[in-house]
Amino acid sequence: MTAALQEISSPPLKPSRAVETGGFAGTRKSTFPAKRPPGYFSPDADPAAIGAFFRANGYLVMEDAFSPAEVAELKQETTLICRGGRGALEGVDLPPAGATDDQVLNHFLCVHFPHKISAAMRATLFNPPTLKALTSVIGPNVKFMQSMLFIKASGKPGQAWHQDEDYIMTRDRSLLGSWIGLDRATQENGCLWVIPGSHRPGILWEQRWHGDRRFDCAEESVGFPYTDEDAIPVEVEAGSVVFFQGYLLHRSLPNRAPAGTYRRALVNHYMSCESLLPWHKPAENEPMAKVDYRDIIVVAGVDPYAYRGTKDIARPVVRPAGDGGCASWSSKNLQYKDDPE
C-alpha cells in the first residue's frame, strides 16, 4: 500500500480510473461538488446509462434523491435514536437525559439496523430515485437486509479499505450498498473513497488488522493490485445517494472538520431476490446450500422464496468506534502501530 491519501478539502481532480460509458445522465440541479469525477446521475437519468456505468465502475451517485425536508427529518430522527427515544440500543450506555444534541451525537459512530425502530429510516427503502437505481443495476426483484446509521462527528475515525461482500454474502455478486448523505460529504469531513473497477475481478481480498487509529475496529482488505493513488473521493451534497457494488474496494478517512461538524449517512444494503442469503450458520441437519436469512424486506418486484416467510431477527446495536481500544471487537490482542513496545 502507498502513503495515505492527502486529506485536503479541495484538491484538483486527477485523471480517474473511472470508465465513461455515456448515455443521458439526467438534468443536474446540484452545484456541489463543482468538480467531480464521472458517475453522477440525476433522478431523470436513462436507466440504461445508470446500469452501464455501474457495471463498468462498481459505483454511481444519484444526486437530489432525497429532498431537503426528507434529509432534515432523517437528521432529527438520528438524534432521537441516539437519545434512546426510539427504543433500546445494544452495546452502549445512553447519554444522560440532560445532554445536549452535540454531546449525544458525539457518543456514537454507527448504529446498525436503525430501520427496526424508525419508520422514517425504513421509508428510505422505497425512495423512488433509489428504486430506479436498484432496478437498473440489480434487476426487477430486489430485497433489503441491513441498515447502518453513521454519525461520524468531528474527530471520529473512518473505515479502512474493505469490501461489503466480506460481511454480507450474496453468492451471486448482486450485493449493493446505498449510502444516503445526510450532510454534505467532503474530503475534510470524511467522505467515501472508491477504487473504480475494483469490483470486476470478483475476488474477496484477505483482511488483516490495520493498527491505524484513523480507522475503526473493522479489519482492512490487503493484497489487492491497486494503490491509494487509484482511489477517487466521492464528495456529495446532502440528499445524494452513493451506490456501490459488494466487491468494490472503498474506505473513508476520519472527520477532520472543526468541532461540531458531522458527516451523517444512512447506509442500506440490497441484493437480488433470486439468490439465497447465507448470512447465518446452518441449523442442525440443514445443508449450507439451503441457508437463507429471512429478515428481509422486498422493495421491488417479487420474491421467488416468499413461501419461506420472513423473520424478525436483527436488533439495533451500536458499533464500537475504538475510542477505548478494540478488545471488544475481537478475541485477538489488537495493537496499534503507535502503541509503546
Task: Report the pLDDT averaged over residues 17-30.
Answer: 95
Give the count of alpha carbons within 13 A of 160, CB side only.
20
Query: Under CATH, what is the fold of the domain 40-319?
Result: Jelly Rolls (2.60.120)
Q: How do residues 254-286 score in pLDDT, each as one tens digit? A: 999 999 999 999 999 999 999 999 999 998 999
pTM, rounded to two decimals:
0.92
Pinpoint the alpha helices (H) of the chain: 47-57, 68-82, 101-105, 119-123, 128-137
Q: Structural domain boundaries of the chain?
A: 40-319
Q: Tell me how far CA of residue 307 lies from CA of 294, 301, 302, 304, 310, in angstroms.
A: 11, 15, 11, 8, 9
Cell 454534505 belongs to which residue? 184
For 340, phi then psi, to 5°, come to -65, 145
pLDDT score of 39 more than 90: yes
What percent of the chain is modeled with pLDDT above 70?
91
C-alpha distances (whole Å) from 207 to each of 106, 220, 226, 255 are 29, 5, 15, 24
Phi, psi of 70 (to 5 degrees): -65, -40
**What's the pLDDT tens digit per position in 130-183?**
999 999 999 999 999 999 999 999 999 999 999 999 999 998 999 999 999 999
The H or E element containing residue 297 is strand 297-300
Structural contact between residues 68 and 240, judged by C-beta atoms closer than 8 angstroms:
no
Sign of CA dihedral 262, 125, 87, 110: negative
Describe the chain by its helix, strand, coil percentages, rounded to 5. 20, 20, 60
Question: Do the bridges between strand 59-62 and strand 40-41 make them parallel or antiparallel, or are there none, so unpaired?
Answer: parallel
For residue 76, how many other CB atoms are within 10 A of its CB? 12
Distance of CA 328 to the CA centre of its chain: 22
